[in-house]
Amino acid sequence: MLDILIKNGKVFDGTRNPYTKLDIGIKNGKIVNLQKNISEEAEKVIDATGLAVSPGFIDTHVHSDLMWKKPEVHAIKIKQGVTTELLGQDGISVAPVSDATKPLWQAQLKGLNGDIGDWPWDSIESYLDHLQTLKAWTNTAYLVPHGNIRTLVMGFDKREATEEERKAMRLLVEQGMREGAVGFSTGLVYPPNSFCATEELVEICKGVATYDGCFVVHMRNESNHILAALNEMHEVAIKSGVRLHISHLKVIGLRNRKLYKDVMEKIEELRREGVEITFDQYPYTAASTVFSAILPPWVHDGGTEKMLKRLRDEDDRQKIKNDFQNDLSYENWVFNCGWENIVISSIDVTEFKRFEGKSVKEIAEVFNHPPDDLALDLLQKAEGNVTMVIHWGLEEDIISSMRSPYHIVGSDSIFGGKPHPRLSGTQPRILGRYVRELNILSLEEAIHHMTGAAAQLLRLKDRGLIREQFWADIVVFNPEKINDTATFENPLLEPEGIEYVLVNGAICVEKGECLDSLFGQVIKRTSEK
């Protein structure tokens, strides 16, 4: 007898192939039978007549690193059909740490990942083992974060690494790969990653390539210097042999829109040269990250405590404000987007909670302060624990790259406060707006970009496709009704049209509602060196 039988659905297998009318038999967590008509009895039968049946969606960019401690909050991911998440993003995450670096990372990441108290781990292995002891909605894979290994070797120092330090970091990343990580990440706008030279990335990525891991990068610039940033990644990939994946591809600022075409041509050039390059993208024209990212890199030298000290110094404040207006050597959100397009999404100060969802310009008008002073005051009073949403571009630009065969869907979802609606709506928005309404992608293409393509990036051997002996991570949805309902004004509204979600052969969502069943697993790199 089967555990679950899904009958009469239109099965999209995740490969881009046209759908096929098939029944799916599931037992012991895996797909054991795919046939036109399965007559074997099952404990549970799901009638998928008129519905699409897809592999579970794999979200390749999330910030759920501590959300397994908060399943009631994390549930929004499974309600979108996300069955696997890739953690350790942007080179800033929760492992590895030491007794010396753990409090630094807890302070720096509180606004991004939340606060669960002490972290009962130090290595990547112990972190993943800890996750496995908890009940979770989704499967999880992990990237070795650049900032964590850099601080283990050289602290938060604002300087380039020596040859010996570069080699030490490479060895730590290789250790993380052996402990189960599927790749390596950096965010070259976030300290201490932003202090590194290209040679550091090349050396580290040689170790990543040895284990066939992916290099996932938030590039050094996504605006006026984006081509130079992409050229840097080209150099790293060619010299190290690593597989290259660009996080949340975009071109920031309307004044820089003309660069989108050149970016896509550069990606094609890398492919022609043999670089396995891909990118992820969320289907919105607004970004979200920590509010401290507006600051020039020099302000972050030495970590959060020294950053706050500089915010209290009048001379440093004036220099910061001057940089906002004149310095284009870094990712200058203020210059490229303006205070009216920078919105406070969460802030860890009770008196300012009422301003979540308001732009810096709007809040400054309430207090009759200049926006730059108001922004620095908010960062200081919240001790850096603020996140933001930034409106940066036009929909036609994300559509142009969405059609690329190298495109993968990643939400870059951040929890807390009044978040970006991509937390609640990314995958349903792709299937509703960009498939059904605008016909930008076919349903087969969109599902591939959320399943099979992501599984290939992570080198998952038994997930991401509907095939016999693959784990039964499955989404059953109504292609005529699936839709995101979350908006920037009401970002936590849940999606519509998802009927069932299965994780490892267990039904976790039925008729759109979560059941009391959390069966997510930790996915570790399994290929040999």
List, for residues 68-119, the tens digit of each pLDDT value.
889 999 999 999 999 999 999 999 999 999 999 999 999 889 878 888 888 9
Q: Do 235 and 302 lie in a common domain? A: no
Q: What is the pLDDT of residue 117?
A: 86
d(CA 165, CA 200): 9
DSSP string across 293-340:
GGS-GGGGTT-HHHHHHHHH-HHHHHHHHHHHHH--SS--HHHHH-GG
Give the number of residues written for the chain: 529
Residue 157: exposure state from Cβ atoms within 10 A (0-12, 13-18, ≥19)? middle
Q: Do 185 and 331 lie in a common domain? A: no
CB 482 within 8 A of CB 498: yes
**Domain count across the chain:** 2
Q: Do 120 and 260 lie in a common domain? A: yes
* 106 occurs within a structural domain: yes
Residue 4, C-beta contacts closer than 8 angstroms, at least 6 positions apart: 25, 26, 42, 43, 44, 45, 46, 472, 502, 505, 507
Q: Do 114 and 153 lie in a common domain? A: yes
Q: What is the pLDDT of residue 2?
A: 98
Cβ atoms < 10 Å from Cβ of 27: 18
d(CA 149, CA 429): 36
Q: Do 244 and 354 lie in a common domain? A: no
Sign, CA torsion 242/407/14/71: positive
Choose among 269, 203, 279: nearest CA to 242. Answer: 203
d(CA 76, CA 64): 11
Which range of residues forms the domain containing residue 364? Answer: 296-389
List, for residues 515-529, the tens digit of each pLDDT value.
988 999 999 997 555
Q: Over its length of 529 residues, how does the chain's per-residue pLDDT go in tens digits?
A: 999 999 999 999 999 999 999 999 999 999 999 999 999 999 999 999 999 999 999 999 999 999 988 999 999 999 999 999 999 999 999 999 999 999 999 988 987 888 888 899 999 999 999 999 999 999 999 999 999 999 999 998 899 999 999 999 999 999 999 999 999 999 999 999 999 999 999 999 999 999 999 999 999 999 999 999 999 999 999 999 999 999 999 999 988 999 999 999 999 999 999 999 999 999 999 999 999 999 999 999 888 899 999 999 999 999 999 999 999 999 999 999 999 999 999 998 898 999 999 999 999 999 999 999 999 999 999 999 999 999 999 999 999 999 999 999 999 999 988 899 999 999 999 999 999 999 999 999 999 999 999 999 999 999 999 999 999 999 999 999 999 999 999 999 999 999 999 999 999 999 999 998 899 999 999 755 5
d(CA 475, CA 24): 12
Q: How far apart are the first and last CA of the chain?
A: 40
Q: What is the pLDDT of residue 528?
A: 56
CB 268 within 8 A of CB 234: no
The CATH number of whichever domain residue 200 belongs to comes to 3.20.20.140
DSSP string across 46-86:
EE-TT-EEEEPEEESSB--TTGGG-HHHHHHHHTTTEEEEE
d(CA 350, CA 362): 18
**Residue 346 pairs with which residues in a beta bridge?**
387
* 27 occurs within a structural domain: no
* 216 occurs within a structural domain: yes
Q: What is the pLDDT of residue 403?
A: 95
* 522 occurs within a structural domain: no
Q: What is the pLDDT of residue 368?
A: 96
Q: What is the pLDDT of residue 302?
A: 86
Pairing of the two strands 42-47 and 2-11: parallel
Q: Do 349 and 210 lie in a common domain? A: no
Picking from 337, 372, 406, the residue at the C-terminal end of a domain is 406
Cβ atoms < 10 Å from Cβ of 56: 28
* 207 occurs within a structural domain: yes
- Alpha-carbon Rg of the chain, whole angstroms? 22
pTM beyond cutoff 0.75: yes
d(CA 476, CA 11): 9
CB 201 within 8 A of CB 235: no
- DSSP annotation of 190 reads S
DSSP string across 27-54:
ETTEEEEEES---S-EEEEEE-TT-EEE
* 420 occurs within a structural domain: no
Q: Do 243 and 300 lie in a common domain? A: no
Q: Do 400 and 269 lie in a common domain? A: yes
d(CA 205, CA 68): 29
The residue type of 286 is A
Cα–Cα distances in angstroms (integers) from residue 421 to residues 37, 359, 386, 425, 489, in the given order: 40, 16, 17, 6, 9
**Residue 82 pairs with which residues in a beta bridge?**
57
d(CA 399, CA 412): 18
* 491 occurs within a structural domain: no
Pairing of the two strands 513-514 and 82-87: unpaired
Picking from 406, 436, 457, the residue at the C-terminal end of a domain is 406
Cβ atoms < 10 Å from Cβ of 87: 27
Q: What is the pLDDT of residue 114?
A: 81
HEC sequence for 201-238: HHHHHHHHHHCCCEEEEECCCCCCCHHHHHHHHHHHHH
Q: Do 329 and 203 lie in a common domain? A: no
Q: Do 341 and 212 lie in a common domain? A: no
Q: Do 199 and 110 lie in a common domain? A: yes
Q: Do 229 and 367 lie in a common domain? A: no
Picking from 360, 375, 406, the residue at the C-terminal end of a domain is 406
